[in-house]
Amino acid sequence: MAILKTQGLVLKYTDINEADRILTVLTRDKGKIKAISKGCRRPKSSLLPSSELFAFSDFILYKGTSFYHVSSGELRESFYDIRNDLLKLSYAVYFTELADTVTDEDIPSERLFIILSKTLYYLSRNEIPIGILSCGYQLKLMDLSGFRPQIKKCVNCGSEENLQKFSIKLGGALCNLCFEHDKSAIKISAGTLETIGYLLSTPISRLNTIKIDNTIFIEIDKIIVDFVQNHLDKRFKSMDFINSIKSLERE
């Protein structure tokens, strides 16, 4: 029987039978896997803490014919504080949904595991403004998935001069001679492009060192969300929900 010992983070789950759960776990060593956590919903089950959403645990799993089975799970971090705030919780759901979307099962991606774990850690600790954390995470995830936005050169001709628009569709900056290649490209300032560059190159733990002017931030936030949805070809309900909470807060 194949045994797998690995750290893992629960991306989502489905309750089945009377007390079981099928977990989708992003593991450090094997990428995304499906694992049955048998009996975890019984009140005294030792598997319950590591079978909750966002739970980060040391797992011992064994492989059955089509699923892994959770043999044991030792919880390291529940990110419990995320649940105290609806906006934070919604962002955490969005972050895990994104990670789920960009991974296929059984394809190892330790880098993604580390980025998501760190992002949830900083989200729970309030050390980094939530919007900056979100932009940094999304950009890093897109970079890992092969969709790094091109910000230093025109995506069409390669010129480094007069980069005045951003094309979501073409994946980066457009110079003033190439505007006709994407009529829907958005006007963008040099400062905004530079800030996207900082967000891409700064480690998650140091994102709190970036100061972003509010007008630039609103521009970047919208561009990044559109960029993600366009290139992953998916509309994220969790992001729609985040936007509705934000608009309520503005009223």
Tell me which residues touch Zn ion (CB under 5 A): 154, 156-157, 159, 175, 178
Q: What residues have CB less than 8 Å from 159, skipping those under 6 apart?
A: 153, 175, 177, 178
Instruction: Tell me whether residue 47 or residue 151 sits nearer to Zn ion (CB atom).
Output: 151
Q: Count the Cβ atoms, other than its own, within 10 Å of residue 209.
A: 11
Q: Shortest Cβ distance from residue 179 to Zn ion (Å)?
A: 9
Q: What CA–CA distance (Å, rounded) separates 110 from 6?
A: 11
**What dihedral angle (degrees, nearest 10) is formed by the CA atoms of 182, 188, 194, 195?**
-110
Q: How far is the CB of 218 from Zn ion (least distance, A)?
A: 26
CB nearer to Zn ion: give 178 or 185.
178
- Nearest distance from C-beta of residue 153 to Zn ion, angstroms: 8
178 or 228: CB nearest Zn ion: 178
Nearest distance, CB of residue 198 and Zn ion, angstroms: 23
Token pair, residue 92, equals: 């955490």
CA distance 77 to 104: 24
Shortest Å distance, C-beta 194 to Zn ion: 18
* Alpha helices, DSSP H, located in 84-129: 86-102, 110-125
- Least Cα distance to 37 among 51, 54, 53 occurs for 51
- Cβ closest to Zn ion, residue 183 vs residue 250: 183
Which residue, 157 or 245, has its beta carbon nearer to Zn ion? 157
Rounded to an integer, what distance in angstroms lies between the CA atom of residue 74 and that of residue 60?
9
Q: Toward Zn ion, which CB reaches closer, 11 or 178?
A: 178
Min dist. Cβ of residue 154 to Zn ion (A)? 3
